[in-house]
Chains A and B, each alone.
Chain A
Amino acid sequence: MADAPIIIDEKKCAGCGKCVKGCGFGALSMVEAPGVNKLGRLAQVDPAACKACSACVSACPFKAITEVKREVNGTKGLEDYKDIWVFAEQTGGTVAEVAYELLSKGIELKAQRGEGCRLAAVVLGHNLSEEVKRSLVAAGADLVYCVDAPELADYEANVYVDAVAQLVERHKPEVILAGATAIGRAFFARVAVKVRTGLTADCTMLKVESTKNKDTGAMQMLLHQTRPAFGGNIMATIMTPNHRPQMATVRPKVFKKLPPSKDPSSGEIIAEALKLIAPKTRLKGVSRDSDAVDVSAHDILVSGGRGMKKPENFQVLARLAKLLGGEVSCSRACVDAGWCKADRQVGQTGKTVAPKLYLCFGISGAIQHLEGIRGADTIIAVNTDPNAPIFGVADLGVIGDAMETANALIKALEERGGAAVA
């Protein structure tokens, strides 16, 4: 099976099945093979499911599994790529918070990368103020690449792709990070394809470390990009060893924004003149939903999950949220069921939140959801299932009925005389 990323030596395989347990992707299974070994079975790999992570290679006590050596197929002149970039998303002259969060992380990554590495911010727009550019320096950028053009006045995916891809070709950054916002997720994925490199979406951990390239055997400083994978049930560390730049997106609120640490006048602002393509779409209008809620902006969230049983029960949570001075959020199941609007969803496919209090009812706590609330200070969970994973992260876990408890809390808070939030 030449196409599988691993080779199983049938003479060495003892049929023990340890590789099956070691595989996090369900790519290995045991097949009956009478007489081949004592147990009469052999390991087999599903090449479509195998991610070539080599966990099975180390799991096999009989050294029966080897990884297929691959021809290196990557960017030429890797060593020419230098510096760490952060895409500083802005709309209407306001820089997205996530850009400052990424610059804060960038300071750390720059230190890990070592001498000679600079941290740069990239900002696109029209008539950008000096204040905006200097705020990026204050947040840690050694230099700011600024493309100011009328075509960039509003976000247009196709022009954004062109601008960032041209900058990459001109300056060859080693790493670029962007916020996994509606804008970042869309155009950044196309930039990665345009410059033919890898992109890891929604990273929850990033670090730069000296690492052995499995293809060439050489030691390299590589960006370790960790994200929940495979339906969010497992964490995977992903690298882009042979291509540059190494690209990653990170959701808002995953990294902490540090207070401005640099003299705003210290960094270099570089005006980049680019010949851009004409925009492919015309923005006819923007309408803002006045009901839309940004749950990530609230300090107190009262959240409901599948255990709320019916949409009407969310009115009780809304009442409770109001008494606590917070907002209502929910798990994915409630959006899928049509009980709540998608803007309230917390988790890997919804919003990442970092409230002071996350009080949740009837949420079991799938890993995708837990990833979304990692930054919460205090988590209180009410659930009937004593084995619900949410209890593993909750500061207080209440095994009990969601509605009864929510109603009792409302009563108690009303008796206290309404909102008495410290």
Chain B
Amino acid sequence: MHVVVCVKQVPDTTNVRINPETNTLMREGVESIMNPFDEYALEQALELKDKCGARVSVISMGPPQATAVLRESLARGADDAALVSSRAFGGADTLATSYTISMAIRKVCGGVPDLVLFGKQAIDGDTAQVGPGVSEFLDATLVTYAKSIEVKDGGFEVVSVMDDGEHTVAGKFPAVVTVLKEASVPRFAPLAGTLTAAKAPIAVLDEKALGCDPGQIGLKGSPTKVVTIFPPPVKGGGKKITASGDDAAKAILEMLSEKGILAK
């Protein structure tokens, strides 16, 4: 069994700050991390490796420094890793990214693997589109929001969390599954793993190595265009007071009465 995990390096948005003068993102000093949802996908893959001896390959698309998340994945127990990186991929939207990653998966696996895992979404883009997009390019079964994945009767059984409850679904490989936080607790990398991973070779794949159609990658392969950007609209704040405890409670109750939320 071959499992591919797609991981993304993202800015740690919990620490992102905005420059108050220009209203733009301050990138300086923002740490890059593995997208937290991808950690759960990786853990699921490693558990499948523990249980059924699956080979786990990890792929990341991004700038050269994204090798850091690949080394972290190797340290935790992934078997091999590839970085999909080229200036030609710059500006890719979710369609071009889905195409590029699907080409990388085919290259690394010599075809379509049994299972491809994604985190449910990346915390920087929050689109949750690339996993489903890759499933189309690989012509694989799509299952989203998995809280557990099991191999059963030569296929999979996944518990998928939908708006109306948890759906248990079964199907055959190949499949693309997006994974939720509830799925697992990511393991720590053992020291020996970290040392080996630091020296492990990581293939860097560009558009030529992948045999990409130049019209389907980067900006050219992206139907969506960012036309304008602007700071978030600011609603003028209301009354502000400095108080705690009883004084604060009194002010809040007054507001609740004023707004008709509490009876006077």
Contact with B along A379-422 (1 / 0, CB 8 A): 01010001000011111111111001101110111000000111
- Residue from the list A224, A235, A391 in contact with B229, Cβ < 8 A: A235
**B228: which A residues are within 8 A, CB to CB?**
53, 55, 236-237
Q: Does A44 touch B at the CB level, under 8 Å?
A: no
User: Which residues in chain A, 182-209, are within 8 Å of chain B measured between CB atoms?
Assistant: 182-183, 185-187, 189-190, 192-194, 196-202
Residue contact A408 to B248, C-beta cutoff 8 Å: yes
Residue contact A395 to B255, C-beta cutoff 8 Å: yes
**A224: which B residues are within 8 A, CB to CB?**
227
A230 to chain B: closest residue by CB: B25
Given A26-B24, A398-B241, A4 and B143 touching (CB < 8 A)?
no
Residue contact B252 to A380, C-beta cutoff 8 Å: yes
**A284: which B residues are within 8 A, CB to CB?**
157, 168-170
Chain A proximity of B30: nearest CB distance (Å)? 9
**B36: which A residues are within 8 A, CB to CB?**
336
In the complex, A232 Cα to B145 Cα: how many Å? 22
**B63: which A residues are within 8 A, CB to CB?**
48
Please, how many residues of chain A have a CB less than 8 angstroms from a CB on the other chain? 118
**A242: which B residues are within 8 A, CB to CB?**
223
In the complex, A370 Cα to B88 Cα: how many Å? 35
Contact with A along B1-42 (1 / 0, CB 8 A): 000000000010110101001111111000000001000000
Please, how many residues of chain B have a CB less than 8 angstroms from a CB on the other chain? 104
- Residue from the list A22, A198, A199, A356 in contact with B261, Cβ < 8 A: A356
Residue contact A391 to B249, C-beta cutoff 8 Å: no
B180 to chain A: closest residue by CB: A342
Main secondary structure of the interface of A (DSSP, over half): mixed
In the complex, A21 Cα to B231 Cα: how many Å? 13
A306 to chain B: closest residue by CB: B14
Q: Does B106 touch A at the CB level, under 8 Å?
A: no
Chain B proximity of A410: nearest CB distance (Å)? 8
Residue contact A234 to B23, C-beta cutoff 8 Å: yes
In the complex, A281 Cα to B243 Cα: how many Å? 57
Residue contact B132 to A285, C-beta cutoff 8 Å: no
Residue contact A234 to B255, C-beta cutoff 8 Å: no
- Residue from the list A161, A231, A398 in contact with B252, Cβ < 8 A: A398
Q: Does B107 touch A at the CB level, under 8 Å?
A: no
Report which A residues bind B (CB closer than 8 A). Answer: 1, 3-5, 21-26, 47-53, 55, 70-71, 73-74, 91-92, 155, 157-158, 161, 181-183, 185-187, 189-190, 192-194, 196-202, 211, 214, 224, 228-243, 280-289, 292, 300, 324, 333, 335-336, 342, 348-349, 356-357, 359, 367-368, 370-371, 377-378, 380, 382, 386, 391-401, 404-405, 407-409, 411-413, 420-422
A-B contact pairs, 6 of them (CB 8 A): A53-B227, A393-B235, A398-B240, A400-B245, A405-B243, A405-B252
Report which B residues bind A (CB closer than 8 A). Answer: 11, 13-14, 16, 18, 21-27, 36, 62-63, 87-91, 93-95, 98, 121, 123-129, 131-133, 135-137, 141-145, 157-158, 161-172, 178, 180-182, 215, 218-246, 248-253, 255-256, 259-263
